[in-house]
Each structure stands twice: as structure tokens, then as C-alpha cells.
């Protein structure tokens, strides 16, 4: 009984930490769906605004991030509604054969290849991205920041050192710790490694 | 030519970001040849790099996050 009680801990909202904790995770999710980083950024920002506005409706039975993702999902749907409502955009053009004079079994070319793993790859990679962001979220703040700048944003060692006021050997130690922690974390959450 | 395991891990991490010099790569290769532990670490580390590339991670830059924060505070 006690365990049950503990597992149903009420969650609270901390809007001050939203950007630091969830912006990358939400952004990665949005980019996967709208394929445009500017639009994705706007959607994430709108999600935070909406979250702030409806914070009083938050009951605390879902984790903060789950709640924000749910809002973001609505925002993505709204976005597609909006662009589709503009006249002509909703029109779906289908072209069964790209060369009208192609010969032979053109129908077979249109059928999905049952052995293709390409479609699954995209889904799997997105899940992998979420798993990585989950693990980055568990790192100490400074390590997460350095790893982010180096690996995801690809900023040079020199520039990171200048921006954060650390020396290169400092940076490599932090990178090392972050990478070791990530390997352990992904080992549990993602079995490929 | 012989380097410590500590040095080897740093060089291994540098290699992941393509920042090791030719001499450093040579030193690392030599060390990995001799040291089983570092060799297994290096393998996992390379795997992590390829996973990160495969996931095609999209992140926001620090300045973009700052902009978001200020916009949120204004709204507050």
C-alpha cells in the first residue's frame, strides 16, 4: 500500500526550468514532424506559452514532460490544419507512374518492398533521439551543456572554452564523464550499444 | 610511444570529434593494440558516436534558448 502511495506522487510544474529541461526534447520531437527547424522552434515556444496559460488546469497526474508533449502534439495538428486550410494546399496529387511511357510491370514498382527497413529506420531513429535526450537530461547540468554544444551543435573546442570560461583539458574531462554516463544510460534504455 | 590509459581515453574522445592529430591517432592505435580495457572502451565510445549521428539530433542553440526564456518571462 505504501509503495502504491509513493508511486502516485503528485507532479508539480516548474515553468522556470522548462526551457533548460525540455526545449531540446520537444524540439527534436517537433522537427521530426514538421521538418522545418524554424517552424519547430515556434511550435515549442507556443507550447511553453500554452503550458503557462493552462498551468492552473494541470492536475499533476502526468509528469511535466508528458503534459508538455501532449500540448505540443495539439500544436502540430493545429499547424497542419492551418496550412491545409489555405486553398489548394489540401489538394493531393497522385501520380502513379512518373514516366507515362514506361513499359512493363509498372504496378509492381508501386508496391512497398516487404523487405525494406527504411520506414522503420526513421521511426527507430526518432525513438533513439528521444532515448538520447532522456539520458542527456540525467546528466549534471554543466556536462549536459558541454556535451550538447560539442556533439549536437558541433561548436569547436576553442569557442566552447571561450564561452564557458574553461580550459580544453577541463572540457575533455567533462566530455569524457558525459560520454561514459551516456554509454551506461543508453545501455539500459537502448540495447544496441 | 607508450601512453597511459588516462591519456588514451582523452585521445579516444578527441578522435570521436575528429580532433586528434596524426601522432595522437598513432599513439592511440598502439595503446589500443596493447590494452584490452581501453580497446573495449573505444569500441563503445565509437558506437555512441554513430548512435548520435544516426539519431540525427536536433538541438536548440544556447542563444535560442535564452530568447525563449526571456519571451516566457515577459508573458509571466
Asked whether the beta carbons of residue A24 and residue B54 sit closer than 8 angstroms, the reply is no
pLDDT in tens, A155-175: 888 889 998 899 999 999 999
pLDDT in tens, A31-79: 888 878 889 999 999 999 999 888 888 887 888 888 999 999 999 999 9
Q: How far apart are CA A107 and CA A96, in angstroms?
A: 8
Residues 6+ apart with CB under 8 A from A175: A146, A147, A150, B13
Which residue's C-alpha cell is 540525467? A138
pLDDT of residue A134: 85
**H/E element, B43:** helix B36-54
| Least confident stretch, A26-35, A144-153, A165-174, B52-61 | B52-61
CB-CB: which of B9, B55, B65 is closest to A132?
B55
Q: How far apart are CA A60 and CA B43, in angstroms?
A: 42
Q: Provide the residue ranges of all domains of chain B, joining segments of one domain with +.
A: 5-75
Question: Under a CB-based contact definition with an 8 Å cutoff, are residues B48 and A147 in contact?
Answer: no
Asked whether the beta carbons of residue A193 and residue B58 sit closer than 8 angstroms, the reply is no
Domains assigned to chain A? 2-85 (1.10.1740), 133-193 (1.10.10.10)
Which residue's C-alpha cell is 544510460? A185
**So what's the ipTM on this one?**
0.84
Q: How many CB atoms are located within 10 Å of the residue B21 CB?
A: 10
Question: Under a CB-based contact definition with an 8 Å cutoff, are residues A45 and B71 in contact?
Answer: yes
Q: Write out chain A residues lying below 8 Å of B10, CB-based.
A: 169, 172, 176
Q: B63 touching A, CB under 8 A?
A: no
Amino acid at each position: 500500500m505504501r509503495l502504491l502511495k509513493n508511486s502516485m506522487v503528485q507532479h508539480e510544474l516548474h515553468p522556470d526550468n522548462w526551457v533548460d529541461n525540455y526545449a531540446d526534447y520537444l524540439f527534436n520531437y517537433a522537427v521530426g514532424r514538421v521538418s522545418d527547424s524554424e517552424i519547430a522552434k515556434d511550435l515549442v515556444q507556443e507550447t511553453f506559452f500554452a503550458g503557462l496559460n493552462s498551468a492552473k488546469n494541470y492536475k499533476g497526474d502526468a509528469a511535466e514532460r508528458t503534459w508538455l508533449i501532449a500540448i505540443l502534439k495539439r500544436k502540430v495538428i493545429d499547424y497542419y490544419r492551418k496550412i491545409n486550410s489555405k486553398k489548394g494546399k489540401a489538394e493531393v496529387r497522385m501520380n502513379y507512374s512518373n514516366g507515362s511511357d514506361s513499359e512493363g510491370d509498372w504496378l509492381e514498382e508501386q508496391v512497398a518492398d516487404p523487405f525494406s527497413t527504411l520506414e522503420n529506420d526513421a521511426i527507430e531513429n526518432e525513438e533513439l533521439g528521444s532515448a538520447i535526450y532522456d539520458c542527456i537530461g540525467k546528466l549534471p547540468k554543466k556536462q549536459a551543456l558541454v556535451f550538447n554544444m560539442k556533439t549536437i551543435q558541433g561548436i569547436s573546442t576553442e569557442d566552447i572554452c571561450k564561452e564557458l570560461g574553461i580550459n580544453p583539458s577541463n572540457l575533455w574531462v567533462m566530455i569524457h564523464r558525459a560520454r561514459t554516463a551516456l554509454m551506461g544510460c543508453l545501455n539500459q534504455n537502448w540495447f544496441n550499444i | 610511444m607508450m601512453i597511459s590509459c588516462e591519456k588514451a581515453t582523452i585521445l579516444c574522445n578527441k578522435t570521436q570529434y575528429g580532433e586528434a592529430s596524426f601522432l595522437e591517432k598513432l599513439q592511440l592505435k598502439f595503446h589500443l593494440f596493447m590494452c584490452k580495457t581501453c580497446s573495449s572502451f573505444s569500441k563503445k565510445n565509437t558506437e555512441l558516436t554513430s548512435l548520435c549521428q544516426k539519431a540525427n539530433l536536433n538541438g536548440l542553440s544556447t542563444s535560442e534558448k535564452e530568447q525563449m526564456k526571456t519571451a516566457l518571462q515577459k508573458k509571466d
